[in-house]
Amino acid sequence: MTDAAIAVAGLRKSFGNKTVLDGIDLDVRAGTVFSLLGPNGAGKTTTVNVLTTLVKADGGTARVAGHDVAADAKAVRAAIGVTGQFAAVDELLTGRENLQLMVDLSPLPAKGGKRIVAGLLERFELAESADKPASTYSGGMRRKLDLAMTLVGDPQIIFLDEPTTGLDPRSRRTMWSIVRELVAGGVTVFLTTQYLEEADQLADRVAVLDQGRLVAQGTPDELKRQIPGTHVRLRFTAAAELDAAARLFPDASRDDEALTLNVPGDGGTSSLRALLDRLDEHSLSAEGLSVHTPDLDDVFLALTGRTTEAVK
C-alpha cells in the first residue's frame, strides 16, 4: 500500500450534455489536508460525490484508502466519513440522539456507544445543548454536530464539503481547530471551500477547480505567489496626486483610470500609520483608502483571466 489516501486520474463526469469534470488528476497523501478550491458550480460537490461513491464517474479512476470507488464502493465507504454541504442532521432529534443514531447504524459494537457519544459532544462543545432538539441549534452548532456524526466510526479519511460556508467567524475558527486536531491524529481530510483563506489556513496542498479542470495545484504558498498579495488601495482625486504618491511607493502598482495606487503591505495598523505619515510628509492626501486581502476572486483572475462570476 502506498501512502496515497486518495489517488485520482483522468476523472470525468457529465450531466446530460454538461461536462462537469473534464479530466481531474490529483493525489492526497495520508495524514494531510487537501483543499479543492473553486467558486459555486465549479464541480466541487460532484468531485466529492464521486470520491465518496454517491455518484458514478463516466471515465477515469479514483482510489480512496486503496480501494477503487467503482469496483469496491463498500470498502471505500467503510474507510471514509462524509460531511455534506447541507447538514445531514435530523432536526427533530436532539444532538445526543443524532449521534446515538450514527452509533446504532455503524458496525461498532453497541457497548461503549454512550461513551463515544458523550466524548464527541464534549469535544465539539455541544454537551450543554446535547438534549435540545437540533432544530434549536445555530448554523455553527449544526455543522459541528454533523462533523461529530461523521466521526462516530473513526474514519481514516474525511470529506468535508464547504464545511464553513455561511458560518460566523467564531464557528469557522472552531471548525478549523477541529480539522487541525483530526489531522494531528493521523486523519486525511479532503476539504472543499470557496475561501482562499480557509485553504491557506488548513491545507497542505490546494487545487483550484475551474470549469471541470484543475487550473492550479500546489501548496498554499505556491498558489499565493501567483496572485497579488495583501495591499492598501489609495484613491486620489487628481492625476498629479497619483503621480506624486506613486513616486513615494516604488513597489506600488497604479491604475491611471481609477486614480488608484495599490501599495503592497500587511494592512496592519502600524504599517497603515507609516503609510499615512509618508503621504502627510509630502502634503498628499488620499480621497479613499481600503485594505485588500487576496481572495478566491484574485486567484481566479490571476489564473484564468476571468472573475468567479463568469463560472456561475
Q: Footprint of ligand ADP on this chain (CB under 6 A)? A: 15, 20, 38, 40-46
- Read off the C-alpha cell for 287: 480621497
Closer to ligand ADP by CB, 15 or 222: give it.
15
Q: What is the CA radius of gyration of the chain?
A: 23
| Closest approach of Mg ion to the CB of residue 309, in Å | 17
Closer to ligand ADP by CB, 20 or 99: give it.
20
| Closest approach of ligand ADP to the CB of residue 144, in Å | 21
Given a contact cutoff of 8 angstroms between Cβ atoms, the answer to whether 289 and 277 are in contact is: no
Among positions 76-95, residues that touch Mg ion (CB under 5 A) are 85
Closer to ligand ADP by CB, 44 or 224: give it.
44
Given a contact cutoff of 8 angstroms between Cβ atoms, the answer to whether 190 and 159 are in contact is: yes
Residues that contact Mg ion, how many (by CB under 5 A): 3
Closer to ligand ADP by CB, 84 or 153: give it.
84
Q: At what angle do helices 95-105 and 113-123 cross, to 10 degrees?
A: 130
239, burial (CB in 10 Å: exposed 0-12, middle 13-18, buried 19+):
exposed
Our finding on whether 45 is near Mg ion (CB under 5 A) is yes
Residue 40 binds which entry of ligand ADP, Mg ion, none, CB below 5-8 Å type-dependent: ligand ADP
Residue 15 binds which entry of Mg ion, ligand ADP, none, CB below 5-8 Å type-dependent: ligand ADP
Measured distance CA(203)–CA(147) in Å, rounded: 18
Sign of CA dihedral 159, 164, 166, 167: positive
- Produce one character per residue of 262-283: b if its CB has 16 or more CB atoms within 10 Å, e if not: bbebebeeebbeebbeebeeee
| Closest approach of ligand ADP to the CB of residue 13, in Å | 8
Beta bridge partners, 159, equal 82, 190
Residue 21 binds which entry of Mg ion, ligand ADP, none, CB below 5-8 Å type-dependent: none
Closer to Mg ion by CB, 198 or 241: give it.
198
| Closest approach of ligand ADP to the CB of residue 174, in Å | 23
Stretch that binds Mg ion, among 20-28, 40-48, 168-176, 274-282 (CB under 5 A): 40-48
Beta bridge partners, 232, equal 263, 291
| Closest approach of ligand ADP to the CB of residue 40, in Å | 5
Binding footprint of Mg ion on the chain (CB under 5 A): 44-45, 85
